[in-house]
A and B are shown apart, each in its own frame.
Chain A
Amino acid sequence: MNAIIFSAIMGVVMMFSGIITEKKSAISFVAVVALFILLAANIANTYGLCSISINTHDLLHFSKFGLYFNSILITAALIFVLLSGSAVEKVGNYAADYYALIFFVLCGTSILTSFNGLLMLFLGIEIMTIPLYILTGADKKNLKSNEASLKYFLMGSFSTGIMLMGIALVYGANGSFALTTPAAVPNSAGVIPVSFLLVGGYILLFVSMCFKVSAAPFHFWTPDVYDGAPTVFTAFMSTIVKAAGFFAFLVLFEANATLLGPSWKIMLTFVIIATLLIGNITAVFQQSVKRMLAYSSIAQAGFMLFALYTYNDLAKEGILLYAVAYCLATIGFFAVLVKVKDHSFDGFNGLAKAQPVLAFSAVVFLMSLAGIPLTAGFFAKYYMLAAVIKSGGSFWIVLVALVFAAISVYYYFKVIQAMYFKSGDPEIMEVSSGYKTAIVLVSLLVIAIGVLPSIVLNWFYF
């Protein structure tokens, strides 16, 4: 509960901080402090120290897993603000408002990591996405940003409609918003009847969640929105928001996957393969690094979906690790991307010579995204695939995923090639030494988790 309350309060505080001071760096500083407080509050909640509790009549349920996941998300947001605070300030004149919106998004993610009913799921999703529509369009004078915002809004509301329809059907079948379905009573012939309302409702929920985490074939909004949004907010959207969406997806279907019977695995296999295929293959052909990252985020979603496919201990640990690895690498790489003016692949030519520190960090982040050993991304993928094999899932789906992982090397390494092996004179914004230190620290963290993933996972068991 702490995180939900504090994030809402901090959002309001951020809004007013814009009135008190005009200095943008001061506003960023306030945001960092507020995030630290939020993180401390959430950690205190995890260990049962001074936590606020309100009787929500079981609408919210604070599990250790959810709280820990929320801590990861808040930490990621903190790293995001520390790294990209200066970029947030540059988007427009309303830095305080942007930070306020970011805190409201975090309020949404805090609900999503603790919901215990469909109503709260809906609230969480809405609280999380509505500020995002605004952030996407934050670059007011840029046509692309406006277009992306409108597109995101239209598609997002459409999928929300589908979700509401699904919730209504499930409510109709169960008579409650609870996540668990009461056991069906066999009819006179001894057959358990299939409730079409229930199955239909959950399929609609599945579709809308696929939309939110940009899984194929519901991914069409992703490239345009990620490409059009101000780069710094793309980093935020594609990491923290997406990870929260995945967590909600996981919790929603943990109890209900069996409802759909064997067709659940078939449906999910189709979505996973389609997501991996479309994400990876399309990313290969991109000319712009930013757009490539949009497709790569679709491809990464394909890997994260394996957690839904298996639902065992390894998958749970895996999704934690995946969230950490993916957030760190993506936020880090976007922090490099923000500094490069030309977002095409050629814009990176010769970056290694001009900015060796940035280029080195970018290599670490890209390798982590590609899943090369010694980086966090390797263990993220490792856990997902191990979970599939452990659950006795079909071995061929693992092989397919690995082939796509090999393909992903192609587009990630194209950036490395541009930076290190091609000569050019990249246009780079000014990079302060503090920025360099921060980004190198993040990349060292990625390597540290890649060597000892237990530094993330052990916390979960404490």
Chain B
Amino acid sequence: MIALLLILTPLATGLLSILMTKGGFAKNFSLLASLVTLVIAIAAIQAPVAPAFDIVWLNNLGSRFTLKMDGMSKMLCLLTAVAFPIIFTSVYKNTYKNAASFFGLMLLTQAGLMGVFLAADALLFYFFWEFALIPVYFLCSIWGGEKRIAVTFKFFIYTFLGSLLMLAGILFIYFRTADHSFALQSFYHVNLSGKEQSLIFWLFFVAFAIKMPIFPFHTWQPDAYEQAPTATTMVLSGVMVKMGLYAVLRWLLPVFPLATAQFSNVIIILSVIGMIYASLIAIRQDDIKRLIAYSSIAHIGLMSAAIFSADKTALEGVMLQMFNHGINVIGLWIIADIIEQQLGTRKMSEMGGLAQKAPAMAILFVVMAFANVALPLTNAFIGEFLMFSGLFRVNMIIAAVAGVSIILAAVYTLNMVQKVIYGELGETAIKSTDIKLNVKLALVVIALAIIALGIYPQPMINLTNDSVVGLIIKK
């Protein structure tokens, strides 16, 4: 029941919020709703028995409304639940036209995301997979930047095509299951020949790869991140890309063990190419939003490579890093949003000396930047270290090449910090002021999480232990 509440709360409050007429009230209401969801999520994680929910849904199709919450689901539900209050707090002072609809659609997105992370039935999973996308489509197209319509459309069609391919794959497996059921367990026990696996594997993988996104399916991403309203970009890059990673772990590796073994090298190589490629582009960026977008591709590439290395340590790292990257990148987007609002530009060449005007922001920005480089004592260090050590054990050369991206990350991130907050006071920065209380609050929460999880990550690693062991045994 508590698992169902995780979906129902944002769904119901989101619909209510859309129907409201007063934007200011809807904003407070949504913030409160997201906090309630957070409380429910914490309660669900602390529950002694793993929360689950099961009810008849499409009986003649063999699909049930089944929700299950294991360690990996807990981690991602926690991320989803934590992300939204932080995002709502950080944009509290922003003004949106038709704010009630904006916050309502954001909450609907949250409901969809929760559903994706909880569904233990393939058709239900597909439903939520699409359901999460539709509010985002409206959010980006209505409140986005100048080129929003075309860019969002590209994003939508891209992901929709991917999910249709996945649907074909789901259908194929469904007819092969012994009991004609969409249940996760039936999918895990399905017997497919090597040839079938290698076809259906790609149908699923393309859908997930577009969502993550990994090279060469990433072309929608920088544009979409740039054009989306920043609050939505935070959801997209903080939580939504984790849908792809989660889906690979939940629906791809255990269902197609043969194909995974066969193609893992190809995918690891693609991921590493993507990492280096995205890092190099990030170095050349002048637009701060695009820089963060490309940096995000690089980080996701590492996680994808670590997943397909199928090493226990690496998988532990991936699970941890899914959470860490989520909050870190949200922190970076908050900073980027503030900078854009204060300076009226996203071009780093026109910035400089912001530290003099906004010392508090500068300190928090540096913390986020260090986490982006994965320096020790930040949460990202633990995750990336685990992933690299796993990768290293599987293939030393690939690990070494991938390791270059850490150096490149340091180059572009520190370069960004330097251009934005140090140096002489730029023309654009003269009138800027320090961050407001709500933003400070959001950033401080993230910074504390970065440091706390950087020093003592063990509880988080324990959280997903069962999923990691489960995945290793399935192999």
Contact = CB atoms under 8 A, between A and B. Distances in A.
Contact of B156 (A374, A409, A422): A409
Contacts of B172: 389, 395
A108 to B, nearest CB: 32
Interface residues of B, number: 28
B157 interface: yes
Given A389-B175, A409-B157, A454-B58, A421 B141 contact: yes
B168 A402 contact: yes
Contacts of B199: 395
A389 B59 CA distance: 19
Interface residues of A, number: 27
A421 B134 contact: no
Given A385-B168, A406-B164, A373 B126 contact: yes
Contacts of B165: 399, 402
A379 B115 CA distance: 19
A421 B127 contact: no
Interface string B364-375: 000000000000
A421 B149 contact: yes
A123 interface: no
Nearest to A317: B60
**Contact residues of B: prevailing secondary structure:** helix
A453 B175 contact: no
Q: Which 5 A-B pairs have the closest CB atoms?
A: A406-B161, A402-B164, A373-B130, A421-B141, A373-B127
18 contacts: A372-B130, A372-B134, A373-B127, A395-B199, A402-B161, A405-B164, A406-B161, A406-B164, A409-B156, A409-B160, A413-B153, A420-B138, A420-B141, A421-B149, A453-B58, A454-B58, A454-B59, A454-B60
B422 interface: no
B141 A417 contact: yes
A457 interface: yes
A405 B148 CA distance: 23
A390 interface: yes
A246 to B, nearest CB: 22
Interface string B145-181: 0001100010011001100110110011011000000
A386 interface: yes
Given A413-B156, A454-B59, A374 B130 contact: yes
Contacts of A413: 153, 156
B131 interface: yes
Contacts of A173: none
B270 interface: no
A374 B134 CA distance: 11
A454 B175 CA distance: 20
Interface in A392-420: 395, 398-399, 402-403, 405-406, 409-410, 413, 417, 420
Interface string B87-129: 0000000000000000000000000000000000000001100
A398 B171 CA distance: 10
Contacts of A454: 58-60
Contacts of B156: 409, 413
Given A420-B141, A421-B149, 17 more contacts: A367-B134, A372-B134, A373-B126, A374-B131, A382-B167, A389-B171, A389-B172, A395-B168, A398-B171, A399-B168, A402-B161, A403-B161, A406-B157, A406-B160, A452-B57, A453-B58, A454-B60
B142 interface: yes
Contacts of B171: 382, 385-386, 389, 398
A452 B175 CA distance: 21
Contacts of A399: 165, 168
A402, A410, A454 interface centre (most CB from chain B within 10 Å): A402
Contacts of A386: 171, 174-175
Nearest to B18: A360
B67 to A, nearest CB: 16
